[in-house]
Chain A
């Protein structure tokens, strides 16, 4: 495994360590750069890239363990999930992941990782402690979105060409139901209490709201931006604020993020960000939202109180996933 040797003068290292200690609020964002095989590390105080880390090939989905000491990285073309120790950014393990892992979700038990294997129409379940594959579940063609319900009962996978949400019972690892959604479902996101899920359909340009108990679609959101052809409005990432107030939907090549009232499903606003916006994450206070913009190769920072884009930060080529550590 290649890893960039970082030559940082000792003094600077100590200084930044000291700064990290004194500023309890310091937060860092990790961004996976799909076409650079790197992660960009952004300091949220200065809003600058402070480090670029070499990782496996074609990094896409990234996620933290619960205490945020480790970062899991889907290295799609290396056919592995890498585990990065966030103390020193070293890769401490390569988990078996099945081929072409794209996105994943960590179970609330903190050690079962549900991985979508895009090329093989499989969901692979890996135990991060024993580093073993526990189960592989057949799903539809090109599984992508993954989420585990807050109570840990359900693992959901969306398959992009089959156009379904697959419901996997985490106790038995069996597929028990499928919900047909619109064309090319990309992302699935539970609300905080786990009663509903939001599913984005990229090609149809819709977001479906699914009731978890009935596993049926109850509402469907559509988007309309003046001057942008409806075909270019392609929802991908969805993030919900913990207070249940807002949902943010990244609209891909429409270069906008939709701000949605999470209770009424009314679209409140569209914020212009970089080009081909896919995934997003909040800071811990949830007053900032960062987006990855693939084609412009940057990250946009949205101030949620002002509902304004306040900054764009250049990262690597084709930024894909983003996670913020407090």
Chain B
């Protein structure tokens, strides 16, 4: 079934639950309430037809995370006379994205969170520089944005592909699964994921015994057992890594390989920013608050949006300011720290604006590991064993 284009624009203005009652606070000071307005804009490009289309992504991915972050900020804010509002919009074209964001900037909004493909993010970034606004990237995993195509005023809460694949490679190394069979799709994202996998393999001493592109157009639900054993008949491997971001064929690799070996990457054992199975370090609380709010599980995009809103909340609280430059400079400094349910404080890489974070490796019903793993050392922080480290990046993020 081909998903119909049902990109209905939603405008959720000022998502404020009735829980926030200002009268409940003992008025102790005369200062006025500090208003902080945050924008969240997303565009979900049509992914094209895929073979495995059983479980669609929720349409409010990202939005629900931003909403929860807003509630968290407001619960804190009522004790500090801060009031956060969220403007959010799922657009149906790049042009509309631009128009909406421009209008928000015209109206004075300076704190923007995005879930956009690269090209659009770069266009919006140009706009943000004109208006001196902060942009959070909560939608693109692209490594270029963290290494070459450096965007001023921009912070990344979603991990980069390199962070994901480094986490997988650390685990693979630790489990002595040293020989990889790499199967990739032919979409640009698949090639980007493949490049990240290759870099990680080299970094963590793993050997790619064969690299194959899946370009068959048969429906694997009928022929997987026949096609894949032959397709995976190569030199012997310990682990099959798959680069299929859309989920076209990858779901059918497991249990169908020539050698009986585990599958990891975009399917199988998957490195993610967030997943339902993350429950340690108080994460169970975040999961249950999210589930109560949205009647579904929290995913990586929700988490990235939640972290962006919470980052702003922490920065406003600590600096007592809502000025974009003041906030950016604080967030991108050593003083910033965020508790984000991953067992340690998180902060941003000052060169690329990337949020450092442990990467859960998950299977559908359990957490397998959460790199950085013990034994992978780094002179500054072991979190920087994941993704591009400072010497590997030409970025020097600042605020204009």
Which residues of A pack against B, CB within 8 Å? 100, 118-119, 121, 138, 140-142, 159-164, 166, 174-178, 180, 183-184, 202-205, 229, 231-232, 234, 253
Contact = CB atoms under 8 A, between A and B. Distances in A.
A232 B344 contact: yes
Contacts of A183: 337-339, 345
Given A119-B292, A121-B75, 9 more contacts: A138-B21, A138-B24, A140-B75, A140-B76, A161-B72, A178-B79, A180-B317, A202-B339, A203-B344
Task: Specify which of B24, B28, B76 lies most central, judged by the most chain A CB atoms within 10 Å of its CB.
Answer: B76
A29 to B, nearest CB: 25
B79 A141 contact: no
10 contacts: A118-B285, A119-B288, A119-B292, A138-B78, A140-B76, A161-B310, A163-B76, A163-B317, A164-B76, A175-B25
A141 B24 contact: no
B140 to A, nearest CB: 27
Contacts of A142: 282, 285
B108 interface: no
Contacts of B292: 119
Contacts of B119: none
B298 to A, nearest CB: 15
Counting chain B CB atoms within 10 Å of each CB, the highest count among A138, A164, A204, A253 belongs to A138
Interface in B51-85: 72, 75-76, 78-80
Nearest to B346: A203
B4 interface: no
Given A177-B28, A180-B317, A162 B282 contact: no
Contacts of A204: 337, 345
A162 B79 contact: yes
A184 B343 CA distance: 11
Contacts of B345: 183, 203-205, 231
B202 interface: no
A220 to B, nearest CB: 14
A226 to B, nearest CB: 16
A277 B75 CA distance: 30
Given A140-B79, A141-B75, A184 B317 contact: no
Contacts of A160: 282, 285, 339
Return the 4 tightest CB-CB contacts between A and B, nearest first: A162-B76, A231-B344, A203-B339, A183-B339
Contacts of A205: 345
A119 B289 CA distance: 7
Contacts of B72: 141, 161-162
B251 interface: no
A138 B26 CA distance: 12
Interface of B: 19, 21, 24-26, 28, 72, 75-76, 78-80, 282, 285, 288-289, 292, 310, 317, 337-339, 343-345, 381-382
A81 B78 CA distance: 29
B4 to A, nearest CB: 37
Contacts of B19: 121
Contacts of A231: 344-345, 381
A279 to B, nearest CB: 15
A138 B381 CA distance: 38
Contacts of A234: 344
Contacts of B285: 118-119, 142, 160
Nearest to A161: B72
Contacts of A159: 76
A101 to B, nearest CB: 13
A272 B310 CA distance: 35
Nearest to B79: A178
A161 B79 CA distance: 13
B76 A161 contact: yes
A162 B285 CA distance: 14
A289 to B, nearest CB: 25
Contacts of A166: 79
Contacts of B289: 119
Contact of A176 (B24, B26, B381): B26
A176 B285 CA distance: 26
Nearest to A144: B282
Nearest to A180: B317
A253 B75 contact: no
A176 B382 CA distance: 42
A75 to B, nearest CB: 15
A229 B24 contact: no
Nearest to A121: B75
A141 B381 CA distance: 29
Nearest to A276: B280
Contacts of B28: 176-177
A100 B80 CA distance: 26
Contacts of A253: 343
A1 B292 CA distance: 26
Nearest to A176: B26
A162 B80 CA distance: 10
B163 to A, nearest CB: 17
A142 B76 CA distance: 10
Contacts of B25: 175
